[in-house]
A and B are shown apart, each in its own frame.
Chain A
Amino acid sequence: MKAVVIGAGLGGLLSAARLSKAGCQVDIFERLPITGGRFTNLSYKGFQLSSGAFHILPHGPAGPLAQFLNEVGADVKIVRSDIITVRVPLKKGSQDYEKGFKDIPFNDFSTLLSHKDRLKIAFLIVSTRKNRPSGSTLQTWIRSQFKDEWLVRFADAFCGWALSLKSDEVPVEEIFEIIENMYRFGGPGVPIGGCKGVIDALESVIAENGGKIHTETEVSKILVENGKAAGVLVGAEAHKANLVISNLGHAATACLCAEALSGEKDSGYLRRLETLKPSAGIKICLAADEPLVGHSGILLTPYAKRVNGINEVTQVDPRLAPPGKHLTMSHQYVAPDNVKNLESEIELGLQDLKEIFPDKKYETLLIQSYHDSWPVNRAASGMDPGNETPIPGLYVVGDGAKGKGGIEVEGVALGVAATMKKILG
């Protein structure tokens, strides 16, 4: 079988590794001079920043991505993070960190509730595993059970960090699937070498199995013959294939084969794509001589104005920064209406960091924002339209087609695994 993969992002490379290992002849076309898309390293002033991700795998060494890498023989060391902590004001009733704060472990979030609500949470933790709530957003569900704003703040920080969404944008079903996956696979981890550690390992597997990656090569059209995917057009050259995997998300993929999708029977698919909303976010990269977070996990900051959480990857892999330095990165969700006010959103993020690290010395290395066609997430979690398209032989992988309950790259891996099962059986 001949396969073409459009885009050498994580989803494209995972697909190519699996297909080439199964004996397919695979060609990958990537528009940029570099591979990895939003999941690779960017060298900047001696630091290994990233083109997107925080060098984090949401479920660490046991998650769907780690399992997939293991199955295809990609050699990556993934270190489980110690702990997730939550920064809360020292004084009950304070709405910010100005008068002091303390850090509590993630699992102790319920200690801030009233005695009655704590009992209720304990009950819900057990009962919801059997009877999953459904049919509303996470926030509506929380408000229907509790009268405590702390829980909404906590949920917003978690959803902002993990999904770049607010709790009123996430279907409650998706969150319960994520919680189930946390039980199943455990918490986050960091790949040694950062995102690029994963990308390099996948490229070795692809090369060993005869797959070819063509960088600086843009696909301009997906060829469709007799209603089936038949290859791609690169410049004036046609590359024939029986299978086309697109790593571009459903909307951009549909643009590459617009004529073939212009029939009445495809109008439902196209209408669905119009409802997809990419999520936006801002990452602020800090350099410091002393640790700012102090552990290898995530520090959630539910009482900051904008920043949702922060990590410090040098706690796991010191080589992601020059000797003696730390690389610390914050993430903040950006609401759709605020994408046009990125500068003021960034200012609020920078003010937050001053409040979160009041006595620490650090330097702002680079501020990176993501939205629209280069977003944090192409399809908001819980809204992914699956991996198939109306055209047989054309599949979509990547974060515009994640598997259920899969946070970011874990969702990418689940989507690719499901696609490969359909193709290879």
Chain B
Amino acid sequence: MKINDNCVGCGQCASFCKKGAIEVKGKALATDACVDCGVCVLYCPVKAIEVLA
């Protein structure tokens, strides 16, 4: 997945990721623990997470 410039850094995605794969500091950043399950995409309030095809 890819996090685009819409991201405000609210951390909502981090709380729904079961792998603990998102770090947030002003913006979200996916770590190597990400398995591309796509769960976090649904929870972003500003459509900042895109699933890569």
A263 within 8 A of B: no
- Check B45–A374 contact: CB distance below 8 A: yes
B8 partner, pick from A44, A366, A370, beta carbons under 8 A: A370
Residues of chain B contacted by A372 (CB below 8 angstroms) = 8
Tell me whether A49 and B45 are in contact in the complex, defined as CB-CB below 8 angstroms, given that A343-B25, A369-B26, A374-B8 are known contacts: no
Residue interface bits A193-224, CB-to-B below 8 A is 1, else 0: 00000000000000000000000100000000
Q: How many pairs of A and B residues are in contact by the CB < 8 Å rule?
A: 60
Report the interface size class on chain A: 20 to 34
Residues of chain B contacted by A49 (CB below 8 angstroms) = 11, 15
- Check B27–A34 contact: CB distance below 8 A: no
- Check A33–B15 contact: CB distance below 8 A: no
Residues of chain B contacted by A345 (CB below 8 angstroms) = 26
- Decide if the interface of chain B is mainly helix, strand, loop or mixed: loop
- Check B46–A368 contact: CB distance below 8 A: no
Residues of chain B contacted by A342 (CB below 8 angstroms) = 9, 25-27
B15 partner, pick from A42, A216, A369, beta carbons under 8 A: A42
A16 within 8 A of B: no
- Check A370–B10 contact: CB distance below 8 A: yes
- Residue from B6, B12, B26 whose CB has the most chain A CB atoms within 10 Å: B26
B14 within 8 A of A: yes
Residues of chain A contacted by B27 (CB below 8 angstroms) = 342
Q: Give min CB distance, B19 to chain A, whole Å.
A: 13
- The A-contacting residues of B in range 1-53, CB under 8 angstroms, are 6, 8-12, 14-16, 24-27, 42-43, 45-46
Tell me the complex Cα distance, A69–B23, Å: 36
Tell me whether A368 and B11 are in contact in the complex, defined as CB-CB below 8 angstroms, given that A343-B26, A346-B25 are known contacts: yes
Q: Give min CB distance, A363 to chain B, whole Å.
A: 15
Chain A interface residues toward B at CB < 8 A: 32-34, 37, 42-44, 49, 51-52, 216, 342-343, 345-346, 366-374
